[in-house]
C-alpha cells in the first residue's frame, strides 16, 4: 500500500492509499480518456456511492476492467 497525493476539482489536495497496481491502472484509464489522473479522480469522487475515496477508486478500476472483458 502506498500513499499518493492528488488534487480534486483543482482545489482540494488530499492523499489516497492504494496498491501500486490500482494506481497504475488508474493512470492507464486516465491516459485512455486523454485526461489527467487528477481529472479522473475528480470524476470518480463526484459520482461515488462509497464513502471512502480509496475504496471507490478500487471499485472503479474493478468495474472498468470487468467492462473490458
pLDDT value, residue 42:
97
pLDDT value, residue 15:
95
Taking the model in full, what pTM does it have? 0.93
pLDDT band at 51 (very low <50, low <70, confident <90, very high): very high
pLDDT value, residue 23:
97
pLDDT band at 64 (very low <50, low <70, confident <90, very high): very high
Q: Which residue bears the cell 481529472?
A: 39
Residue 54: what are its φ and ψ, rounded to 5°? Answer: -60, -40
> d(Cα 25, Cα 20) in Å, to the nearest integer?
9
pLDDT value, residue 19:
97
Amino acid at each position: 500500500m502506498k500513499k499518493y497525493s492528488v488534487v480534486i476539482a483543482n482545489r482540494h489536495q488530499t492523499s489516497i492509499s492504494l496498491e501500486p497496481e490500482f494506481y497504475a491502472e488508474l493512470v492507464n484509464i486516465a491516459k485512455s480518456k486523454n485526461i489527467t489522473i487528477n481529472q479522473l479522480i475528480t470524476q470518480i469522487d463526484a459520482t461515488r456511492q462509497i464513502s471512502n475515496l480509496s475504496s471507490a477508486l478500487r471499485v472503479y478500476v474493478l468495474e472498468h476492467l470487468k467492462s473490458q472483458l
